[in-house]
Amino acid sequence: MIITGRRKSLEACTEAGWDAFDILTREPLTDEDIESLRIAEGSFLYMRQLRKPFFKIESHNYIIKGVKGDPFFRFAVHRDHTDEVDKLIGALS
C-alpha cells in the first residue's frame, strides 16, 4: 500500500475531543493492504465475506475503518493522540 496523503475526513466525527482523517492511498485497498494494517494495536475485524468487505480496528485512542476497493481509509483519533496517525503512516511506508 502506498499512502499518498491525508485530509480531514469527509465524514464528520461526532465524538467530542476526536478528529478524523481520510488516509489516501494510490490504489484501491486490497486484501493484502487491509491485512497489513494488523500492525496497528487494537482489535481487528475484517468482514471479507460481504458484498462490500469492510474492516475496523479499535483501540482505546483510535478507530480505523474502511472498505475494500476504496482508495482511502478513515482514521478517527482522540485529539490527545494524533501522533498515532503519523506512527501508523510511518510504519506502513
pLDDT computed for residue 54 by the predictor: 97
pLDDT computed for residue 5 by the predictor: 93
In the chain, which ranges are E strands? 3-8, 18-25, 43-47, 54-58, 62-67, 72-78
CB 43 within 8 A of CB 63: no
Pairing outcome for strands 72-78 and 18-25 = antiparallel
pLDDT computed for residue 15 by the predictor: 61
pLDDT computed for residue 12 by the predictor: 66
Neighbour count for residue 15 (Cβ, 10 Å): 10
Could you tell me the pTM of the whole model?
0.88
Cα gap 64→74, rounded to integer Å: 6
Would the pLDDT of 82 be above 70?
yes
List, for residues 12-71, the tens digit of each pLDDT value: 666 667 889 999 999 999 999 999 999 999 999 999 999 999 999 999 999 999 999 999
